[in-house]
Homo-oligomer: A and B are copies of this chain.
Amino acid sequence: MRFFLLLCFLGKMAFAQQNIQSPDGKLKLDFSLNSKGEPVYTLKFKDQTIIFPSTLGFKLLNDTVSLRDGFEVVKHKVSSQDSKWTPVLGQYKEIRDHFNELEVELYQKKRATQVHLRFRLYDEGLAFRYEFPRQANLQYFIVQDELTQFNIEGDPLAFWLPGDYNTEEYRTTTSKFSEIPAILASGRLTAGESYPLFQNRGIKAVQAPLLLKNEKGIYIHFHEAALVNYPAMSLELTEKGFISHLTPDAVGNKAYLQTDFVTPWRTVMVTDDARKIIASSMILNLNEPCALKETDWIQPVKYVGVWWEMFVKGSTWAYTDEQNTKLGITDYKTLKPNGKHGANTANVKKHIDFAAKHGLDQVLVEGWNEGWEDWYGLWKEDVFDFVTPYPDFDLPYLRDYAASKGVKLMMHHETSASATNYERRMDQAFQFMKDNGYNAVKTGYVGFPIPRGEFRSGQWMVNHYIRVAKTAAKYKIMVNSHEAVRPTGLSRTYPNWIAQESARGTEFESMGGSDPDHTTILPFTRFTGGAMDYTPGILQTTFDYYNPNNDQRVHTTLVKQLALYVVLYSPLQMAADIIENYERFSDAFQFIKDVAVDWDDTYVLEAEPGDYLSVGRKAKGKQEWFIGAITDENSRNANLNLNFLPKGKKFTATIYEDAPGAHWEKDPMKYRIRKVQVDASTVLNIPLAPGGGTAITIRQ
């Protein structure tokens, strides 16, 4: 019997292996069908195998035949593309999209089903996706499992987050690949929030983006691009590496699909130069072009906010200390104010004055609207209506006052993850924003999602975030989504989705902290999907300043906070500290006022994940350059080669640097500022304190 089967397999017509190379010839993809008719791919970098033979396939719900073997190649096609496009906002004025492509049309006889595979090789990596064309025998289908293997060898170093379905707000764990299961099992990992009911149902998986560095110094970066109408992918550990693990829905299914359909791209960046990961536009390139007709209303934003005081000064989002409020029933005017409500008219006015004085664009106000008394942890559906200010927030006055000062208020829509409630009220909420002169909203999804049983990275919620971005675009509103699923380059298609959180941001410095190497890892992982509203700029880095009993702190020096504006790409950047601190550190604050948030060009000068990162950028449309360099807990010298400057011209560099003796823990706010003359031949050598950095402005 066994012999017979073997004969069958051998008897099949073997599909000749097909391969393509990256434009620079360094990456090579092999594709073939194995003896079972399984699609298999292999990826090599400079002739070293990076992804060992890995199979591709699907398991559909209620299908007796899996879409994983018995395939034949109907036809294949190799092609190339080299084009350019202009992002609305970005790290580059223009982006080159250059790849070689292999398209394979597969047919599975036993189910009479066509599946196409499309592979693209960029210089910096591989991307591939499944395509389900319109066909008679596959119209609607439910995905039970995607079976994409990523087989590796050896025991690389991994920079990873646990495969939680609901949050990316973990510290990154840096460990050997082989150590991941034990660490996951130990439960030592703590999320930003606790999810007592749901995490990932016991699956041993890590999230994408995932960065590995193998024993030969090669960096391997896994992610996905263009996550649309599909759940986010985690990477489940196997004996040989990883297999795709999709976030389930409330009943355990993964995705409800209709042909024709294409999955998100699965991406594997490979390089021996870590700078290429930071510089890459591959994820953006794999997304669809801009879907909006007009984009001139999408503008970069630098903002302050009524926000950090809730974390360090005891201000509250809530207007009262009473609880058990009911939306549309509770009359807040009858409740006793707690006297600590941050979003009061006088405080907001002060922020408007500050923004106007210092040329900042917007003022975020959190806690402006009714509902905060009962917003958290209750799995309550109707928490906020997004249109009713608290009694002490005089919206008409502040709206007019802000307008008179040339400043915009930034809206805040905390949904408490009640997406159903938000969807019902979204149009009215956006209209309310337009009527009151707002053009940007920070959305929030803290808590268990509603629809109950859905996860924040599942197909339903993925569709929700996109629906929000598209609906907001109809009202010409920019969206800065917090607690949404990790980004996958969709800001190319919906550039009004200007930034996301989807990682452990500054707020955690007041809730247990982040390690000094945190921001030396994020750019290689989280930021490869898109801009983050990290909210840097905390110049008062120790919190005993506010309260002697508060021994928490930012895990950086003051200067590193400045450097983050350049290192952490975002066209929306907050000056997150209490505004009084900017008056106290007005010379350092000058960098935040000066730094651009939209760019003509980006130069990654030095990069090693978990250790250091130095980035230079040219301001959009201006002869101004900014540099940010950061280090982890170790002191280090940044070597900054300014050969990106125009030749033959002299410039003045204003250098913000850790003063001697500065240390993120021991003496974090010790800094100095100096000016030097530089040109394209200059190489600056700047000492970085432990947990420190440098920030540089270069102008004529």
Residues in A lying within 8 Å of B, measured CB to CB:
134, 139-140, 142, 197, 249-251, 253, 256, 258-259, 323-324, 326, 374, 378-381, 420, 423-424, 427, 451-454, 460, 463
B-side contacts of A463, CB under 8 Å: 381
Across the interface, do A250 and B139 meet the contact criterion of CB distance under 8 Å?
no
B-side contacts of A381, CB under 8 Å: 256, 463
Across the interface, do A452 and B251 meet the contact criterion of CB distance under 8 Å?
yes
Query: Could you write out 7 A-B pairs with CB less than 8 Å apart?
Result: A139-B323, A142-B379, A249-B452, A250-B451, A258-B326, A259-B324, A420-B451
Distance of A142 Cα from B452 Cα, bound (Å): 13
Who on chain B is nearest to A424 by CB?
B423
Distance of A424 Cα from B379 Cα, bound (Å): 21
B134, B379, B423, B453: the one contacting A423 at CB < 8 Å is B423
Distance of A259 Cα from B374 Cα, bound (Å): 12
B-side contacts of A326, CB under 8 Å: 258
Are A380 and B323 CB-contacts (below 8 A) given A251-B453, A452-B251?
A: no
Are A374 and B140 CB-contacts (below 8 A) given A251-B197, A381-B256?
A: yes
B-side contacts of A253, CB under 8 Å: 452
B-side contacts of A250, CB under 8 Å: 250-251, 451-454
Across the interface, do B256 and A379 meet the contact criterion of CB distance under 8 Å?
yes
Are A324 and B139 CB-contacts (below 8 A) given A251-B250, A379-B256, A423-B420?
A: yes
B379, B423, B451: the one contacting A454 at CB < 8 Å is B451
Distance of A423 Cα from B378 Cα, bound (Å): 23
Distance of A300 Cα from B41 Cα, bound (Å): 67
Are A256 and B380 CB-contacts (below 8 A) given A251-B250, A454-B451?
A: yes
Distance of A451 Cα from B256 Cα, bound (Å): 13
Who on chain B is nearest to A256 by CB?
B379
B259, B378, B420, B424: the one contacting A140 at CB < 8 Å is B378
Question: Assuming A140-B374, A250-B454, A258-B324, what are 8 further A-B pairs, CB within 8 angstroms?
Answer: A139-B323, A140-B324, A250-B250, A256-B379, A258-B326, A420-B423, A423-B423, A452-B453
Who on chain B is nearest to A324 by CB?
B139
Distance of A326 Cα from B451 Cα, bound (Å): 24
B-side contacts of A256, CB under 8 Å: 378-381
B-side contacts of A453, CB under 8 Å: 249-251, 451-453
Who on chain B is nearest to A421 by CB?
B423
Who on chain B is nearest to A427 by CB?
B427
Across the interface, do B251 and A140 meet the contact criterion of CB distance under 8 Å?
no
B-side contacts of A374, CB under 8 Å: 139-140, 258
Distance of A423 Cα from B452 Cα, bound (Å): 16
B134, B142, B380: the one contacting A324 at CB < 8 Å is B134
Distance of A427 Cα from B428 Cα, bound (Å): 11
Distance of A378 Cα from B324 Cα, bound (Å): 40
Distance of A256 Cα from B420 Cα, bound (Å): 15
Distance of A451 Cα from B418 Cα, bound (Å): 12
Who on chain B is nearest to A463 by CB?
B381
Distance of A439 Cα from B370 Cα, bound (Å): 35
B-side contacts of A379, CB under 8 Å: 142, 256
Across the interface, do B451 and A380 meet the contact criterion of CB distance under 8 Å?
no
Who on chain B is nearest to A454 by CB?
B451
B-side contacts of A259, CB under 8 Å: 324
Distance of A326 Cα from B253 Cα, bound (Å): 21
Distance of A379 Cα from B460 Cα, bound (Å): 12
Closest Cβ of chain B: how far from A451's Cβ, in Å? 3
Distance of A182 Cα from B89 Cα, bound (Å): 68
Who on chain B is nearest to A451 by CB?
B451
Distance of A409 Cα from B548 Cα, bound (Å): 72
Choose among A134, A197, A379 the residue with the greatest number of B CB atoms under 10 Å from its CB: A379
B-side contacts of A142, CB under 8 Å: 379
Choose among A378, A420, A452 the residue with the greatest number of B CB atoms under 10 Å from its CB: A452
Distance of A378 Cα from B259 Cα, bound (Å): 13
B-side contacts of A324, CB under 8 Å: 134, 139-140, 258-259
Closest Cβ of chain B: how far from A8's Cβ, in Å? 34
B140, B197, B427, B451: the one contacting A452 at CB < 8 Å is B451
B-side contacts of A249, CB under 8 Å: 452-453
